[in-house]
Chains A and B, each alone.
Chain A
């Protein structure tokens, strides 16, 4: 996909996830919207995958460590062809396999996540296993910034550099907010890049809502040999719905009818503008 097509796709995904959350009356909308551009770029440009054969041995692996941002992940998988788009309307419903966190009964989802701080360890294990088998697949893991307070993340960060996992790319959705407020008020993360560098990672910082920067950076990852790569993607929580942007309440708020309709109208206008470009 071109950058323009990816931007159009990200808007489609935002509309779909907003609709899912509105009808389910549940979901984690803030982090879903902040990570939508990253997930769009991964699934429509960066990852080497085959929707017709989710278990294809040559695929790149993706782990959503911040499992609560499942909505853009499910929409991207469905729109990419892993399962029917119509199934998205079952999100959160009785008996559905589309639950509030990633579930590997869904085609394309590798692992069940949701308990924070697990995903990087899993990705490290995948990267070690692939290297042992001389397979060239890459492993991507998307983490939240609030989840970096989990000690297991740093156990995994240490192991990744110890084993020189240059087939591993971790991404932080750095939206600066978690459920109780600012990440820096809840538990200081800065100097974040220096912390990861000191653990032996090659770090790049980007605007995680800028499609050109995302594609350029993730497309060139892993960055160096014999070191794991980290992308700190600075994003806006609630990105695209102005009333939700940068407000901690929208970690898992559900829009009412008026807000839903005005947000959808805004996305429709954005799409029209994009189509006229």
Chain B
């Protein structure tokens, strides 16, 4: 097993490097510096940190105001609150007003596990992809998180980046030959001709293990890491539809309106083949840790492999 590392620590490490070189960078949070691993940042660059208190609407509004006078705000707070309570401020003050605000949603998806649905974020791809002029990115490990932050920080524009909470296995640390992230492009993690798996976030690691399980059954799976949900790599999906027999999407999001819906829309328009969406069901989830829930809802390697093999078997009978 490769080394475990949390994306939030990786993010704040890179953010601190960037902020040390650029005094216009201002980091803001809503009483969540612990959750966002910002304590070191606050100690070292106190003048570049603004505490807003537990007030997520004000958090985004203030960030937009900072950007409007030339600062470069980086908001860090739990994804569940940013993507719901602050959604109107993200839409109007940031995206519609064209402000250069970078928003980090931490502990997204079902990272908070047994804390319950109030703390789950399973709607953010659907909600934020429907707002123009904001990038939506869900990196899959610590290395990719740092690559995302470096690329996005160089751009003048709004971005929402969602990461999880736990220390997770590295996808890219052991693959120095793979460029971990290019905005608007899928990252090819494994090539194959039978089926394409399209995943984002923490589940990319589980999809990689699923590829191994499928290979044992003689199924050669292609795996695309689709961290860049907006802009989205339409061409990679069309190519997958043309070159492989079926597509399976895997995401830590509601079955409604996420990666699967996005891929299906492209496939039906350009090259119809079977697409199966693996995601969380449209219901409030049972209690458990994120790993327990991945297994329960068949989003772990075993579940992904089984669903994929099942889909391929059903395409053969047609």
* Cα-based distance from A159 to B63 in the complex (angstroms): 13
Q: Is the CB of B70 within 8 A of A125?
A: no
Interface bits A122-138 vs B (CB < 8 Å: 1, else 0): 11111111101101010
- Contact across chains for A118 and B50 when beta carbons are under 8 A apart: no
Is A266 on the interface with B (CB-CB < 8 A)? no
Whether A125 and B57, one on each chain, are in contact in the complex, defined by CB atoms closer than 8 angstroms, is no
Across the interface, name the chain A residue whose C-beta is closest to B99.
A111
* Contact present for A129 and B66 (CB under 8 Å): yes
A112–B57 CB distance below 8 A:
no
B279: CB under 8 A from chain A?
A: no
Q: Is the CB of B53 within 8 A of A159?
A: yes
B182 on the interface (CB 8 Å rule)? no
Interface size grouping (class) on chain B: 20 to 34
CB contacts under 8 Å to A, within B246-284, are none
How far apart sit A152 and B64, CA to CA, in the bound complex (Å)?
A: 14
Contact yes or no, B66 A156, CB < 8 A? no
Task: Flag if A125 contacts B92 (CB, 8 Å).
Answer: no
Secondary structure of the B contact surface, majority rule: helix
Partner of A111, one of B53, B64, B88: B64
Cβ–Cβ contact A121 & B92, under 8 A: no
Q: Are A124 and B58 in contact (CB under 8 A)?
A: yes
Chain B residues lying within 8 Å of A129, measured Cβ to Cβ, are: 26, 65-66, 68-71
Q: Which residues of A contact B73 (CB under 8 A)?
A: 125
A133 touches B62 (CB 8 A): no
Known: A125-B62, A129-B66. A118 touches B55 (CB 8 A): no
**Is A151 touching B64 in the complex (CB atoms < 8 A)?**
no
B89 touches which one: A110, A118, A133, A162 (CB < 8 A)? A118
A121 to B63, CA, bound (A): 9
Can you name the residue of chain B whose Cβ is closest to the Cβ of A120?
B61
Min CB gap B44→A, angstroms: 17
The number of residue pairs between A and B whose CB atoms lie closer than 8 Å in the complex comes to: 103
B26 touches A121 (CB 8 A): no
> Which residue of chain A has the shortest Cβ distance to B91 in the bound complex?
A115
Task: Please tell me if A61 contacts chain B, counting CB pairs below 8 Å.
Answer: yes
Q: Is the interface of A mostly helix, strand, loop or mixed?
A: helix
A193 at the interface (CB under 8 A from B): no
Smallest beta-carbon distance B133→chain A, Å: 11
* Cα A114 to Cα B88 with chains together (Å): 11
The answer to whether B97 touches A115 (Cβ under 8 A) is no
Flag whether B93 is at the interface (Cβ < 8 A): yes
Cβ B96 vs Cβ A112 within 8 A: yes
| B65 partner, pick from A104, A123, A155, beta carbons under 8 A | A123
Bound Cα distance A117, B97 (Å): 15
Q: In chain A, what residue has the closest Cβ to B101? A: A125
Does B5 sit at the interface, judged by CB under 8 A? no
- Do residues B70 and A104 form an inter-chain contact, with CB atoms below 8 A? no
Contact B96 A121 (CB under 8 A): no
> Closest CB of chain B to A238's CB: distance in Å?
28
- A113 on interface, CB distance cutoff 8 Å: yes
Residues of the B chain whose Cβ atoms lie less than 8 Å from the Cβ of A115: 88, 92
A211 interface hit (Cβ, 8 Å): no
Q: Which residues of B contact A151 (CB under 8 A)?
A: 57
Task: Say yes or no for B52: interface residue by CB 8 A criterion.
Answer: yes
Instruction: Give 24 pairs: A residue, B residue, CB < 8 Å, sorted on A.
Output: A111-B65, A115-B88, A117-B57, A118-B89, A121-B61, A121-B62, A121-B64, A122-B61, A122-B65, A122-B93, A124-B61, A124-B65, A125-B63, A128-B65, A128-B66, A130-B69, A133-B69, A151-B57, A152-B57, A152-B61, A155-B52, A156-B58, A156-B61, A156-B62
